[in-house]
């Protein structure tokens, strides 16, 4: 397959746009910073008063990048008007450079979820919706077939994180979905709703969470939704990264690391073999093959680490990966070349 890079100007514009969106998020801090430790990690909160009540708003894990932005929150707030104009200009540049923008319905949905705090509180966009955003992260062009939407918009989050955060979305996703003309899809054997279908189209929104054995429906308190448990998902959404979806002046979302996305696609492709999911399985393998080719050239160490991590999870993981690679001999050769 042929990999075509975006221009240097487009890659710089995307990175600048992402940086400005992260600055914009930090500029919204209104109170003092509170640190909380859980499981050996430190999480930061914006602690402020509303009337006689103290509130805490989750900001994220205490990375050096986030701490730096918080330290500059006052200056970032003062620069807000100019920053937003620059964000609009950079979005126009990316469209002119051939970046694929979101359709109106998907853009409206992700924008509403971002405003409500879905991504801030651990929600991660996965599936084809996330795959399309690697055009910016990796600086490569996707053709229309590679970005063909399945109609599904999938979100995932860790149950443990959702319970531990002690914060909630500002508007429940089900309220947003109803306003956008999505109807709940009843689940078999449970009253919990984890998927929604658009009344006037084929779009299907699903909420997912990692499972470790039984794939049951579980609550995600921080996001105010229920989610279907799926095995292998914990690997995909570990250490997610920020990304900008191109709609209006951009939407700051969270997506899986591209190397984990690629290896995870090899796993789910084997799970989907046969029957009505056969077409999805072929698409999974195609997405994995494309990303692995790009990553082997540009980020071989990241790819090797993700591959080794998946293989170390156990024989069932290795069997699924090997089954997919048996159908992708060139990809298997590429992976052998980076480990």
Same domain? For 211 and 288 the reply is no
User: For the ranges 51-55, 88-92, 121-125, 255-259, which has the lowest average pLDDT?
Assistant: 51-55
Residue where a domain stops, chosen among 228, 251, 274: 251
The reply to whether 242 and 272 lie within a common domain is: no
DSSP secondary structure of 157-224: --HHHHHHS----SS-HHHHHHHTTEEE-PBTTBS---EEEETTSS-EEEEEEE-SSS--EEEETTTT
Q: Which residues of 272-296 are buried (b: 16+ CB within 10 A; e: fewer)?
A: bbeeeeeebbebbbbbbbbbbbbbb
> Do 188 and 323 sit in the same domain of this protein?
no
pLDDT band at 235 (very low <50, low <70, confident <90, very high): very high
What is the predicted pLDDT for the residue at 77?
Answer: 86
State the pLDDT at residue 309: 96
pLDDT of residue 3: 86
Q: Which residues contact 106 (CB under 8 A, 6 or more apart)?
A: 129, 149, 153, 203, 247
Residue 127: inside a domain:
yes
- Could you tell me the CA-to-CA distances from 166 to 51, 117, 298 in Å, in that order? 20, 13, 39
- DSSP assigned state of 2: -
Mean pLDDT of 334-338: 92
Q: Do 224 and 153 share a structural domain?
A: yes
In-domain check, residue 182: yes
Return the structure tokens found at 48. 């402020």
Mean pLDDT of 251-280: 89
| Averaged pLDDT for residues 242-246 | 97
Asked if 302 and 314 count as a contact pair (C-beta separation under 8 A), the reply is: no
User: Of 222, 251, 280, which residue constitutes the final position of a domain?
Assistant: 251
> Taking 70 as the threshold, does the pLDDT of residue 276 lie above it?
no
Tell me the helix, strand and coil percentages in the chain, rounded to 5: 45, 20, 30
Q: How many structural domains are present in the chain?
A: 2
Q: Give the residue-averaged pLDDT of 9-22.
A: 96
Q: Is the pLDDT of residue 249 over 90?
A: yes
In the predicted structure, residue 253 carries a pLDDT above the cut 90 = yes
For residue 308, the surrounding DSSP H or E stretch is helix 300-311
| Domain match, 173 and 247 both | yes
Same domain (yes/no): 236, 269: no
Q: Which has the minimum average pLDDT: 70-74, 112-116, 247-251?
A: 70-74
40-98 per-position pLDDT tens digit = 889 899 998 877 788 888 888 899 999 998 888 888 888 889 999 999 999 999 999 99
Query: Same domain for 232 and 103?
Result: yes
Please give the structure tokens belonging to residue 237: 């959404």
Residue 69 main-chain phi, psi, to 5 deg: -65, -40
Domain presence at residue 336? yes
The verdict on residue 165 lying in a domain is yes
What is the mean pLDDT of the segment spanning 19-46? 89
In a domain, 178, yes or no: yes
Task: List Cα–Cα distances, 10 to 14, 94, 128, 248, 285, in angstroms.
Answer: 6, 6, 22, 17, 28
Q: Are residues 112 and 163 in the same domain?
A: yes
Instruction: Identify the residue with better confidence: 232 or 162.
Output: 232
Higher pLDDT residue, 38 or 304?
Answer: 304
pLDDT at 202: 74
Is the pLDDT score of 273 beyond 90?
A: no
**Residue that is last in its domain, among 233, 251, 269:** 251
CA torsion angle for 92, 98, 103, 106 (degrees, to 10)? Answer: -90
> Above 60 in pLDDT, residue 255?
yes
318 in the same domain as 179: no
- The pLDDT > 90 percentage for the chain reads 63
Q: What is the mean pLDDT of the chain?
A: 90
In a domain, 312, yes or no: yes
329-338 and 300-311 helices cross at what angle (nearest 10)? 100
Which has more pLDDT, 190 or 93?
A: 93
In a domain, 264, yes or no: yes
Q: Is 246 domain-assigned?
A: yes
- Count Cα atoms within 13 angstroms, Cβ side, for 132: 25
Per-residue confidence (pLDDT) for residue 186, from 0 to 100: 77
Cα separation, 317 vs 266, whole angstroms = 10
307 shares its domain with 246: no
Domain range enclosing 275: 257-339
Neighbours of 190 (CB within 10 A): 12
- Which pLDDT score is estimated for 114? 95
pLDDT, average across residues 108-133: 94
Residues 268 and 338 in one domain: yes
Question: 247 and 163, same structural domain?
Answer: yes
Per residue in 127-160, pLDDT (tens digit) is 999 999 999 999 999 876 655 555 789 999 998 8
């Amino acid at each position: 397959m042929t990999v075509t890079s975006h221009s240097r100007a487009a890659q710089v514009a995307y990175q600048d746009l992402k940086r400005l969106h992260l600055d914009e998020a930090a500029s919204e801090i209104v109170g003092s910073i509170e640190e909380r430790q859980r499981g050996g990690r430190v999480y930061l909160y914006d602690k402020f008063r509303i009337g006689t009540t103290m509130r805490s708003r989750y900001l994220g894990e205490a990375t050096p990048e986030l701490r730096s932005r918080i330290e500059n929150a006052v200056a970032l707030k003062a620069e807000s008007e100019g920053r937003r104009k620059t964000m609009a200009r950079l979005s126009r540049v990316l469209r002119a450079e051939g970046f694929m923008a979101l359709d109106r319905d998907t853009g409206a949905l992700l924008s509403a979820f971002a405003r409500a705090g879905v991504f801030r509180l651990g929600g991660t966009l996965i599936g084809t919706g996330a795959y399309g955003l690697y055009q910016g992260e990796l600086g490569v062009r996707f053709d229309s077939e590679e970005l063909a939407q399945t109609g599904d918009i999938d979100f995932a989050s860790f149950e443990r994180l959702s319970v531990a955060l002690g914060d909630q979305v500002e508007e429940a996703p089900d309220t947003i979905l109803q306003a956008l003309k999505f109807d709940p899809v009843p689940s078999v054997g449970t009253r919990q709703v984890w998927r929604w279908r658009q009344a006037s189209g084929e779009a299907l929104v699903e909420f997912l969470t990692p499972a470790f054995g039984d794939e049951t429906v579980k609550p995600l308190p921080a996001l105010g939704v229920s989610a279907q448990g799926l095995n292998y998902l914990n690997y995909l959404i570990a250490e997610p990264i920020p990304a900008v979806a191109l709609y209006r002046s951009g939407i700051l979302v969270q997506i899986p690391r591209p190397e984990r996305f690629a290896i995870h696609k090899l796993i789910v492709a084997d799970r989907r073999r046969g029957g009505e999911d056969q077409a999805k399985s072929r698409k999974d393998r195609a997405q994995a093959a494309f990303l692995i080719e790009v990553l082997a050239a540009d980020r071989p160490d990241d790819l090797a680490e993700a591959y080794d991590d998946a293989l170390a999870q156990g024989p069932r993981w290795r069997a699924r990966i090997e089954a997919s690679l048996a159908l992708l001999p060139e990809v298997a050769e590429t992976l052998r070349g980076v480990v």
